[in-house]
Chains A and B, each alone.
Chain A
Amino acid sequence: MDDTENELLTVERELLGENIVILKMSGELDLATVHLLSGQLKSVAEGDREAVIIDATQVGFMDSTGLHALVEGKRQIHEAGKRIFLVPSNQVRRVLELVFPDRLFADRLDDIEQAIEAAT
Chain B
Amino acid sequence: MLLFVLVALTYAAGSEIALALIERSGLQGVFFIPAGITVAFLLRLQRSVWWIVLAAAGIAEFTMDVLGGFNVAQALGFALANTAEPLVGAGIVVATCGVLDLARRRHVGWFTLGAVLGGPALGATILATADTMFGGDQYWIVFTQVWLGDAIGVIIVGSAILVWGSSRDRRSVFSLWGLLLVIGSAVLTVLVMSLSDLPIAFSVLIGVVLAGALFGTRAVAVTSLVIAITMAILLIVDPGVLIVGVDQRVALVLIKLQIGSFALAGLVIAAEAHERDLAVTRAAVASMEAKTLDQERSRQHQLAIEVQRGLLPDRLVDDPALQIAARYEAAEEMLEVGGDWYDTIQLRDGAVALVVGDIVGKGVDAMTSMGRLRTAVGALAVQNPEPGPLLEAVDEFVGGPDGTDYATVFCAILDAGRTRLTYASAGHPPALMVTADGVARWLEGAGSGPLYGDTTVKRSQETVDVPPGAALLLFSDGLVERRGESLTRGLERLEELGTGLVGLDAETICDEVISALHLGDTWHDDVVLLVVKNSPHDRNTYDDHHPSDPLELSRIRASVREWLTSREIDEPVIDDVIIALGEATSNVVRHAYVDGNRGGMRVRITVADSSVDVAVSDQGTWRAPSPDGGGMGLGIIESIADDVDLSTTPDGTTLRFRIALGGSAEGTPISTS
Q: A94–B640 Cα gap in the complex (Å)?
A: 10
A119: CB under 8 A from chain B? no
A64–B575 touching, CB < 8 Å: no
B629–A30 touching, CB < 8 Å: no
Q: A8–B590 Cα gap in the complex (Å)?
A: 18
What chain B residues lie within 8 Å of A90 (beta carbons)? Answer: 575
B595: CB under 8 A from chain A? no
What chain A residues lie within 8 Å of B551 (beta carbons)? Answer: 8, 32
Query: What residue of chain A has the Cβ atom nearest to residue B581's Cβ?
Result: A63
B590–A31 touching, CB < 8 Å: yes
What chain A residues lie within 8 Å of B639 (beta carbons)? Answer: 98-99
Q: Given A31-B590, A68-B628, A95-B579, are A63 and B633 neighbors across the interface (CB < 8 Å)?
A: yes
B527-570 residues with Cβ-Cβ distance < 8 A to A are 550-551, 553-554, 557
B586-634 residues with Cβ-Cβ distance < 8 A to A are 586, 589-590, 628-630, 632-633
Q: Given A30-B550, A99-B632, A99-B636, are A65 and B579 neighbors across the interface (CB < 8 Å)?
A: no
What chain B residues lie within 8 Å of A8 (beta carbons)? Answer: 551, 554
Least CB distance from B633 to A in Å reads: 4
Partner of A65, one of B554, B628, B635: B628
Interface size on B, residues (CB 8 A): 24
Q: A22–B334 Cα gap in the complex (Å)?
A: 80
Q: Given A30-B554, A98-B639, are A63 and B579 neighbors across the interface (CB < 8 Å)?
A: yes
A61–B557 touching, CB < 8 Å: yes
Q: A50–B586 Cα gap in the complex (Å)?
A: 33
Least CB distance from B425 to A in Å reads: 36
Q: A91–B578 Cα gap in the complex (Å)?
A: 10
B583: CB under 8 A from chain A? yes
What chain A residues lie within 8 Å of B636 (beta carbons)? Answer: 63-64, 95, 98-99
A55: CB under 8 A from chain B? no
A38-94 residues with Cβ-Cβ distance < 8 A to B are 61, 63-65, 67-68, 90-91, 94
A31–B589 touching, CB < 8 Å: yes
Query: What residue of chain B has the Cβ atom nearest to residue A6's Cβ?
Result: B551
What chain A residues lie within 8 Å of B632 (beta carbons)? Answer: 64, 67-68, 99
B467: CB under 8 A from chain A? no
What chain B residues lie within 8 Å of A94 (beta carbons)? Answer: 575-576, 579
What chain A residues lie within 8 Å of B633 (beta carbons)? Answer: 63-65
B583–A32 touching, CB < 8 Å: no
Query: What residue of chain A has the Cβ atom nearest to residue B552's Cβ?
Result: A32
- The interface bits of chain A over 96-120 (1 if a CB of B lies within 8 angstroms of the residue's CB, else 0) are 0011000000000000000000000
Query: What residue of chain B has the Cβ atom nearest to residue A101's Cβ?
Result: B639
Query: What residue of chain B has the Cβ atom nearest to residue A9's Cβ?
Result: B554
A61–B582 touching, CB < 8 Å: yes
Q: A65–B590 Cα gap in the complex (Å)?
A: 11
21 A-B residue pairs with Cβ-Cβ distance under 8 Å, sorted by A, are A8-B554, A30-B550, A30-B582, A31-B553, A32-B554, A61-B554, A61-B579, A63-B629, A63-B633, A64-B583, A64-B630, A64-B632, A65-B628, A68-B628, A68-B629, A91-B579, A95-B579, A98-B579, A98-B635, A99-B635, A99-B639
Residue numbers of A with Cβ under 8 A of B are 8, 28, 30-32, 61, 63-65, 67-68, 90-91, 94-95, 98-99
A sample of 10 more A-B contacts (CB under 8 A), given A98-B635, A99-B635, is A30-B586, A31-B553, A31-B589, A63-B579, A63-B586, A65-B633, A67-B632, A91-B579, A94-B579, A98-B665
Q: Would you list the 10 A-B pairs with minimal beta carbon distance, nearest first? A: A68-B629, A32-B550, A64-B633, A64-B629, A64-B632, A31-B550, A63-B582, A65-B629, A98-B639, A32-B551
